């Protein structure tokens, strides 16, 4: 009777040992330390922040007034016209600028904004130390 009880257990151990290759349980498997596409989903992607790039800046206007201009004074000076309604994209060189949107039309107060900065409610607006580069958040000027 004792032989019948131990035989199935002994047989299971022998089959288990025979089915495993030598040192299989302790060898590292290839690819386990690599990240997969699922684990990298929530990670931010790197942006190209090369300051030599030409920067695309969006000018938006919802007032219907077509005489608003914006000037960038810095490494190079630029003056652009806002569209009367809607938006347009302009190009400028990376750098730190003094930005001015002078009063226009009837000089009534409007809301001015550079993305990442608070709105200004006035006839015109001025902003100092505006960093324009591929990784800045201030890549849009708005008039309401």
Token output for 84:
């009367």
User: What is the number of structural domains in the chain?
Assistant: 1
Per-residue pLDDT 10s for the chain (144 aa) are 555 555 666 666 666 566 655 555 555 555 545 444 444 444 444 556 777 788 899 999 998 888 999 999 999 999 999 999 999 999 999 999 999 999 887 778 889 998 878 889 999 999 999 988 888 766 899 998
Q: How far apart are CA 144 and CA 109, in angstroms?
A: 10
Q: What is the pTM of this model?
A: 0.64
Is 106 among the domain residues?
Answer: yes
Domain extent for 70: 54-143
Is 134 among the domain residues?
Answer: yes
Is 35 among the domain residues?
Answer: no
- By C-alpha distance, which of 84, 144, 65 is closest to 110? 144
CATH of the domain at 80: 2.60.40.10
Provide the pairing of β-strand 78-81 with 69-73. Answer: antiparallel
Check: CB of residue 18 under 8 Å from CB of residue 96.
no
Is 43 among the domain residues?
Answer: no
Provide the pairing of β-strand 69-73 with 95-101. Answer: antiparallel
Supply the pLDDT for residue 109: 86
């Amino acid at each position: 009777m004792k032989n019948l009880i131990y035989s199935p257990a002994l047989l299971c151990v022998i089959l288990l040992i025979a089915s495993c290759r030598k040192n299989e349980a302790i060898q590292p498997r290839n690819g386990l330390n690599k990240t997969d596409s699922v684990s990298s989903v929530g990670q931010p992607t790197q942006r190209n922040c090369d300051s030599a790039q030409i920067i695309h800046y969006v000018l938006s206007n919802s007032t219907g007034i077509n005489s608003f201009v914006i000037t960038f004074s810095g490494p190079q000076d630029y003056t652009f016209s806002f569209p009367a309604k809607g938006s347009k994209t302009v190009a400028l060189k990376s750098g730190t600028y003094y930005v001015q949107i002078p009063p226009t039309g009837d000089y009534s107060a409007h809301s001015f904004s550079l993305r990442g900065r608070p709105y200004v409610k006035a006839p015109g607006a001025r902003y100092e130390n505006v960093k324009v580069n591929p990784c800045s958040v201030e890549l849009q000027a708005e008039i309401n």
